[in-house]
């Protein structure tokens, strides 16, 4: 199933795409698709629905973040070898964990705001994993049973804030609008193998990133297990699993960064496409 939310922030409505890609409203079944409603019982219930009985939404605008009330937005750094190399970093021996503040979350096609004075804002297409049940100390061979679904994430990053302003990477990762998620939350049953998905990103029509999740250093199941050794996971939590090479920071000899007016377009096989316009927050 491809679940989505539409409408302005604070008034989002739940919906589902049918086999003809028509948006069908789910408000008669659930109040929202968020951390308080998402679980495997809900997924089972939605799987039994006759979608033709649900009202078609003619203009589902704007497409909102694909899940609401996210408790934790956990990200993994340097999880593709070529990306680690392009940044000049060592290949990590253990997953690198950092945070995106949940206030960074936005819809797949919402504008991305360059923070005041920012000159080093960069892109990163990533596979997002949405947790469907609570767990702690999760074994690797059980980890995928905790996944409600998957989505596209753009892990937008202000490199100067991230690496030259002291402390952790978080200052550069959690600015408002730096976490578009969606357009859809694609349920786990649609994705036979999360390690076989192509992902790509273009800026103004030029392709900068093109990779496959089979190149991850630490797989989805390793990451869920690893993260759960340090914190409990709850439904609606997102783990964004790292980006392939081709970020602006890695371009040689001179890195390039986003400018107001540019358009990012990014996608993952089976999970849909995002498109964002970059604007200045002044």
Ligand X SMILES: O=C(O)C/C=C\CC(=O)C(=O)O
Residues that bind ligand X (CB under 6 A): 77-78, 83, 87, 89, 124, 155, 157, 163, 242-243
Question: Quick one: 60 or 242, whose CB is closer to ligand X?
Answer: 242
Question: Quick one: 32 or 155, whose CB is closer to ligand X?
Answer: 155
Question: Quick one: 172 or 267, whose CB is closer to ligand X?
Answer: 172
CB 239 → ligand X: shortest distance, Å? 13
Question: Quick one: 4 or 268, whose CB is closer to ligand X?
Answer: 268
Q: How far apart are CA 260 and CA 36, in angstroms?
A: 36
Question: Quick one: 39 or 163, whose CB is closer to ligand X?
Answer: 163
Q: Which run of H or of E encompasses 112?
A: strand 112-114
* Ramachandran class of 19: left when φ > 0, alpha when ψ lies in -120 to 50, beta otherwise: alpha
CB 78 → ligand X: shortest distance, Å? 5
The residues near 255 (Cβ < 8 Å, ≥ 6 apart) are 120, 159, 248, 249
Q: How far apart are CA 87 and CA 5, in angstroms?
A: 35
Identify whether the C-beta of residue 140 lies closer than 8 Å to the C-beta of residue 221: yes
CB 262 → ligand X: shortest distance, Å? 19
Question: Quick one: 72 or 83, whose CB is closer to ligand X?
Answer: 83
Q: Which residue is nearest to ligand X (CB)?
A: 77
Give 12-78 as a 3 state SS string.
Answer: CEEEEECCCCCEEECCCCCCCCECCCCCHHHHHHHHCCCHHHCCECCCCCCECCCCECCCCEEEEEC
Identify whether the C-beta of residue 226 lies closer than 8 Å to the C-beta of residue 137: no
CB 272 → ligand X: shortest distance, Å? 21
CA angle at 214 for the pair 213 and 218, rounded to the nearest 5°: 85
CB 172 → ligand X: shortest distance, Å? 8
CB 84 → ligand X: shortest distance, Å? 7
């Amino acid at each position: 199933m491809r679940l989505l939310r539409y409408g302005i922030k604070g008034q989002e409505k739940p919906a589902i795409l049918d086999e003809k890609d028509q948006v069908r409203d789910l408000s008669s079944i659930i109040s929202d698709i968020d951390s308080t409603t998402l679980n495997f019982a809900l997924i089972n219930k939605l799987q039994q629905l006759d979608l033709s009985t649900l009202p078609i939404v003619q203009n589902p605008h704007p497409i909102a973040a694909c899940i609401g009330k996210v408790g934790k937005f956990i990200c993994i750094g340097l999880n593709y070898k070529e990306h680690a190399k392009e940044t000049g970093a060592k290949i990590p021996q253990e997953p690198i964990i950092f945070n995106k503040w949940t206030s960074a979350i936005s819809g797949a096609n919402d504008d991305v705001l360059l923070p005041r004075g920012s000159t080093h804002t960069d892109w990163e297409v990533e596979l997002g994993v949405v947790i469907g049940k609570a767990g702690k100390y999760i074994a690797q061979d059980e980890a995928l049973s905790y996944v409600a679904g998957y989505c596209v994430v753009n892990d937008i990053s202000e490199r100067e804030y991230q690496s030259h302003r002291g402390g952790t990477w978080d200052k550069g990762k959690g600015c408002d609008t730096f976490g578009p998620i969606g357009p859809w939350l694609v349920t786990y049953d649609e994705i036979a193998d999360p390690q076989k998905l192509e992902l790509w990103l273009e800026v103004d029509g030029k392709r900068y990133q093109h990779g496959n999740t089979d190149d991850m250093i630490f797989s989805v199941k390793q990451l869920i297990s690893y993260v759960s050794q340090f914190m409990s996971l709850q439904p609606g939590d997102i783990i964004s699993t790292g980006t392939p090479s081709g970020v602006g920071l890695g371009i040689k000899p001179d890195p390039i960064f986003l400018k107001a007016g540019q358009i990012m377009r990014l996608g993952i096989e089976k999970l849909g496409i995002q498109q964002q316009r970059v604007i200045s927050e002044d």
